[in-house]
Structure 1
Amino acid sequence: MNAIRVSLLIGLMGLFGSCASHLDQLPTVESTSESVYTSVENYKAVLAKLYASYAIGGNEKGDGNPDMASPTAAYGYLRSYFNLQEIPTDELVYSWAGGDNLVDIQYMRWGASDTWVSAMYYRLYYTIAICNELLRNATDDRIGRFAEAEQQEIRVFAAEARFLRALAYSHAMDLFGHVPFVTENDQVGAFFPPRITRGELFDYIESELKTIETILPEPFQNEYGRASRAAAWTLLAKNYLNAQVYTGIERNADCIEYCNKVIGSGFSLEADYRKLFNADNDRRTQNEIIFPIQSDAARTTTWGGMTYLVNAPILGSMHAPDYGVVSGWQSFRTLREFVALFPDATGEVDRRGAFWTDGQTLDVEDPSSTSQGYTIIKYTNLYDDGSYMTDDGLVNTDFPLFRLADVLLMYAEATVRGGAGGNTTTALGYVNQLRERAYGNTSGNIGASALTLDFLLAERGRELFWECVRRTDLIRFGRFTGGDYLWQWKGGTVSGTATDARFDLYPIPVTDLAANPNLIQHVGY
């Protein structure tokens, strides 16, 4: 990447200006690295683009002037990630699968030429590439011309870039397994990146996160939307919880250790579950949200990201302004197996499970019928006072990629799995804190005998649905592929059918296999 877009740098400097989500976008101007990395402000602007790469797919309104040529990749990282993590699970059925090329994702029968698989893969490596570019320009030699205080500030920026790269590589490890590996130490230009195994990548990510955890600011000491040590700790805990899948070796004790770091750092549960997912959720900086992907109706102008997640579930007789937007997309519905996780469908018992049933059937006999399958609203564009501001349906709601509730449930699961250092009484207390918030009282509390792995998988579904964790959770519990757990339309049949274990990983896209002789396709593809 010898040339970088100044608009992606200077135009995004508002990102870190306040607690509002500012991601300004200006017309594109080409410039070289030599002319851009000349001030701390410009380094910060480059860093803003790294964060923005998770939120937006282009540089003009509605993903115009896209980062990537593919129509699906132009929808951005978050939309691609959500589709691969949620649509093939028991939490979601998609109305327009045919028109959006999501039939094979919905039915768990994708191949190496799938457009959404490729979109996610190349979004990952786009983010990795721009992180590498900042890091090439943040070496001691490159920043030696700055004053010492400025050098220290740039070193923090570099630690954040390493975190963002580790996050993208963690998603690559989870989704694709053995993948190409490129860092800032590799040459710029045409070369064939080597293949790194899943286990080797796990070790690399672990090393990176442990190296930067003391360079990143303490929790609550960075600007809103930027990574602190708590974000690195949370990512480590997530990877440790899934280490058996990634490496064949369980790391539950390490998961507990890093969960304890997050839990002990001052975060607290937000009292109102719904406020975690509304347009004012940027105010929950000490109430639960550890690391967000930011959204702003005036600046993060994407038809992917949170615009997608707010608009897509609104259908039928629902009134879109009640959720802070101008119209519903009638795209997302849920499946009966997900509804069955809750004590009832009204939300009167467990507030997290308030399904929209008016005009909807529970069973989905035809996935394309928008009247089949209940829907549920996770995200809204409403402010705390019920007002809203939108531009063509664009939203101001941030995506809570990491939050305390997940950490509490990870601690509980790692403890139940036998991780050293975990305490069952403490784990039970954490779970019951979440259930007291959901029920509004202690009527939903469980006893120690009910704290089982099956319960925790269900509770993660209730608490974390549509937060891009379900596929990973089901794989960790051995329920994603195979026939031990079936849901409607799993494998492409109305009652669900067993699927092949190869679908626990997405394939390397055929385009990259053809371009890079170092890569090997996964077995079965």
Structure 2
Amino acid sequence: MYSRLISRTLLPLALIATVFAVSACDNVGVEPKGLAAADNIFQEDGAYRSYLAKLYAGLSTTGQQGPAGAPDIQGIDDEGFSQYVRLWWQMQELPTDEAVLAFPDTPVEEMDAGNWGAENGFISGMYSRVSFQVTQANNFLRESTPGKLDERGVGPEVQQQMSQWRAEARFLRALSYWHGLDLYGGIPIVTEENPVGGAPPSPNSRQEVFEFVEEELIAITDGEGEETLPDPGQSQYGRADKAAAYMVLANLYLNAEVYIEEARYSNAVEYASRVIDSGAFSLQTSSRGSFSPYQSLFLADNDRANGIIFSVPQDGENTQHYGGTQFLIAASLGPPFTEQSLVDNYGTTQAYQGLRVTETSYNLFNTTDDDRADIFVTRERDPEITAFNDFGQGYLAPKYRNLTSQGNSGSSLVFPDTDYPMFRLAEAYLIYAEATLRGENGDEGRAQTLVNDLRQRAGLGRDVGTPNGPSLTLDLILDERGRELFWEARRRMDLIRYGLFTGSELTWAGKNGEYPEGEALDGEYRALYPIPTSELQTNPNLEQNDGY
């Protein structure tokens, strides 16, 4: 399986990363100063491929050894809390109606209740993760120029591949800048052209970060330069191709009214269409083993499932950490499961008794939504949540499993083989549909067909647009996103785009710390996270976001 193969390329990275990660990069734009050994590191041609693998590993692993012990990011007591996907997921899910977490940690409790401040550990950890990825990508791009390759006598095989590798590095940098743009707004843009160890940079506006991400992704997909990603479906599994870049662009444009106060829905339709029309991806519409089509996308062999455009590969033997799908599986489990039933049903011995779904989100599903609603565990559970830290309250939602489609456990009962699907074809369908309704282009008939394709797979039939069925509306699409993309780190941005993240129109248990219904989050300013206090202290050029 490709996912297992590519993860093994991460094994030789510790020595390389140690030199380049001397600093944990406390803010975007402050480069680590321990880079003098670059020529020593790149003595061998294979070091470039290994360093590229380290860039991908930055989305998965947490440090120089697994599962913990030599972290990339300093200042976080539990290294598992610093994992990229885990931080991104928590910041998109915990402040919404989709998830609450029963860990007695101040950052967790603040995210659950929606009363975080600039010293929240998740907020500072994610900022550092974005910075770390940007810094690593910049280092790779500085050290892989044609001049550097010639100077070091790099062989023709590596030189021939370098244009694509540089495009991949630029994609990963743009991906992290999109995450930073979405979470924090305007942050400093730093590229390989900035001097290492220079003065702290000035912040860029949200508009400028938006334009940087847009221009970078267009350059590596449609540009005339040599640095171009492979066509959709033509890259090794777990590595970026043009479709992955199109998905970032489609998300960027779908949220452009939030990001830059400019409607770009026509562009969102265009790039979602490029993914759909590429022919490289198809919906998973057939069962795999005893698992339904939808459940097949979240198993230990989901690298063999259809419809995953870009994933963060996991390997229970070789990429061990306490984030990503390890966290999503283990934190979702607890009573009523016994240890043996955990192994039999989820391929793990770990049950952290943390994550549950609120009743508001659960109620989006109904009994005929066979494929997607089967993820919930309701027996011996009370749906109502009146306290975040009481794991006995709320239904469980163990969507991700460390089982193969044949029902076998992954390679480890602690660390899963289940890849995290960052972009899926189903999301492209939903972006096309929403952007069509909001914008001036797109085919509403096609949008209806795409939504019906998803609903049919889920057991709801093809009823949208029929005389006895619902109409295709923005509200229907939001609910459909809440079902199809449940626990895939989209809910916060969806609620913000729909004007429901703050205010009282949509409430859920614990919103603003109130039970059982919740009340409005205090202030529209919470649609952005604060710049961490540590960053403001490190870089005096930064300014705090309004409201904090």
State if a TM-score over 0.5 links the two structures.
yes
2:152 corresponds to 1:129: no
The answer as to whether partners of 2:178 and 2:252 remain within 8 angstroms in 1 is yes
**Counterpart of 1:4?**
none
Residue 73 (structure 1) shift: 7.6
1:49 maps to a residue whose letter is K
Alpha-carbon displacement from aligned partner over 1:475-518 (angstroms, at most 9, x marks no partner): 01111112221111111001211121111000001111122121
Equivalent residues of 2:3, 2:303 under 8 A apart = no
1:351 maps to which of 365, 368, 371: 371
Residues 390 and 407 of structure 1: is their aligned pair in 2 closer, same or farther, counting only changes over 3 Å?
same
- Paired with 1:140 and 1:20, the residues of 2 have a C-alpha distance of 28
Q: In 2, Cα distance between the equivalents of 1:490 and 1:173?
A: 24
Structure 1 position 22, deviation (Å): 5.2
The AA in structure 1 aligned to 2:10 is L
Where do residues 50-89 of structure 1 align in structure 2 (5 Å cutoff)? 50-71=55-76, 74-75=79-80, 76-89=83-96
Is 1:164–2:178 an aligned residue pair? Answer: no
Shift of residue 316, structure 1, vs aligned partner: 0.8
Q: Residues 444-455 of structure 1: matches in 2 within 5 Å? A: 445-447=464-466, 450-455=471-476
1:498 to 495, 520, 529: 520
Q: Counterparts of 2:465 and 2:75 in 1: how far apart (Å)? A: 48
The correspondence for 2:312, drawn from 287, 290, 293, is: 293
- Does the 8 Å CA contact 1:59/1:66 hold for their aligned counterparts? yes
How far is 1:359 from its partner?
1.4
* Contact residue 40 and residue 154 of structure 1 kept, 8 A: no
Cα RMSD (Å): 2.0
In structure 2, C-alpha distance between the alignment counterparts of 1:61 and 1:204, rounded to whole Å: 34
* Match in the other structure for 1:6: none
Q: Which runs of 5+ in 1 are unaligned?
A: 1-13
Q: Give the 3 Å change call, closer, same or farther, for CA 353–408 of structure 1 in structure 2.
A: same
Correspondent of 2:216 among 204, 208, 214: 208
CA separation of 1:252 and 1:73: change in aligned 2, threshold 3 A: farther
Structure 1 residue 17 displacement after superposition? 8.3
Find out whether 1:139 has 2:110 as its counterpart. Answer: no
Distance 1:218-1:157 versus aligned 2 partners, 3 A rule: same
Deviations 1:421-475 (A, max 9, x none): x001100000010011111x72655548621111111100100011011101110
Alpha-carbon distance change, 282 to 16 in structure 1, aligned in 2, over 3 angstroms:
closer
Q: Provide the residue aligned with 2:51 in structure 1.
A: 46
How do 1:307-326 and structure 2 match up within 5 A?
A: 307-318=326-337, 319-321=341-343, 322-326=345-349
Matching residue of 1:8: none
The answer for the alignment partner of 2:537 in structure 1 is 514
Question: Which of 223, 229, 246 does residue 233 from structure 1 map onto?
Answer: 246
Q: Name the residue aligned to 2:290.
A: none
Could you state the TM-score of these two structures normalised by the residue count of structure 1? 0.92
Residue range with higher mean Cα deviation, 458-467 or 62-71: 62-71
Deviation digits for residues 393-430 of structure 1 (CA, Å, limit 9, x no counterpart) = 1100000000100000000000011232x001100000
Question: Which of 302, 310, 320 lines up with 1:281 in the alignment?
Answer: 302
Q: Distance in 2 between matches of 1:181 and 1:119?
A: 18
Report if the CA contact (8 A) 2:4-2:313 is conserved.
Answer: no
Of 422, 430, 433, 2:453 maps to 433
Q: Quick check: 322-331 or 142-151, which moved more?
A: 142-151
Question: Which residues of 2 match residues 382-401 of structure 1 at below 5 A?
Answer: 382-391=403-412, 393-401=414-422
Residue 335 to residue 282, structure 1, CA distance change in 2 (3 Å): same
- Matched with 1:306 is 325
| C-alpha distance in structure 2 between counterparts of 1:223 and 1:392, whole Å | 27
Amino acid at match of 2:269: I
SS of equivalent to 1:412: helix
- Offset, 1:179: 1.1
Question: Does the Cα contact within 8 Å between 1:25 and 1:59 map onto a contact in 2?
Answer: no
Q: Which one of 404, 412, 433 corresponds to residue 433 of structure 2?
A: 412
Q: Structure 2 CA distance, aligned partners of 1:282 and 1:445?
A: 31
Give, as a single letter, the amino acid of the residue that structure 2 aligns with 1:314.
L
CA distance in 2, matches of 1:21, 1:332: 30
The residue that corresponds to 1:252 in the other structure is: 265
Contact kept? 2:358, 2:509, Cα under 8 Å: yes
Contact (CA 8 Å) 2:347, 2:413: kept in 1 or not? no
Distance 1:25 1:193 in 2: 33
Q: 1:90 aligns with which of 80, 86, 97?
A: 97
Measured in 1, the distance between the counterparts of 2:8 and 2:307 equals 18
Matched, 1:120 2:126: yes
Residue 26 of structure 1: CA displacement? 6.8
8 Å CA contact 1:22, 1:300 repeated in 2: no
Write out per-residue CA displacement over residues 213-236 of structure 1, whole angstroms, 9 at most, x where no aligned residue: 151111222111100011111111
Letter in 2 for 1:294: P
**Maintained 8 Å contact 1:324/1:381:** yes
Q: Distance in 2 between matches of 1:17 and 1:435?
A: 32
Paired with 2:361 and 2:63, the residues of 1 have a C-alpha distance of: 34
Query: What's the TM-score once normalised by structure 2's chain length?
Result: 0.88
Once residues 366 and 3 of structure 2 are traced to their aligned partners in structure 1, the CA distance between those partners, rounded to angstroms, is 42
1:303 maps to amino acid: Y
Measured in 1, the distance between the counterparts of 2:396 and 2:377 equals 5
Equivalent of 1:483, from 493, 500, 504?
504
Following superposition, the deviation at residue 268 of structure 1 comes to: 0.3
- Alpha-carbon distance in structure 2 between the residues aligned to 1:298 and 1:259: 35
Counterpart residue number, 1:9 = none
| One of 202, 206, 217 as aligned partner of 1:198 | 206
SS in structure 1 of the partner of residue 11 of structure 2: coil
**Aligned length in residues:** 504
CA distance in 2, matches of 1:26, 1:138: 17
1:270 aligns with 2:276: no
Residues 73 and 119 in structure 1, CA contact (< 8 A), matched pair in contact too: no
1:71 to partner: Cα distance: 2.1
The percentage of aligned residue pairs carrying the same residue is: 38
Deviation at 1:324, TM superposition (A): 0.6
Query: How far, CA to CA, are the matches of 2:198 and 2:78 in structure 1?
Result: 22
| 2:210 pairs with 1:188 | no
Answer yes or no: is the 8 Å Cα contact 1:20–1:282 preserved in 2.
no
Show the 5 A alignment for 1:22-37. 23-24=10-11, 28=15, 32-37=37-42
Residue 11 of structure 1 corresponds to none
User: Compared with structure 1, are the counterparts of its residues 181 and 418 closer, same or farther at alpha carbon in structure 2 (3 Å cutoff)?
Assistant: closer
Q: Give secondary structure in 2 for the equivalent of 1:232.
A: helix
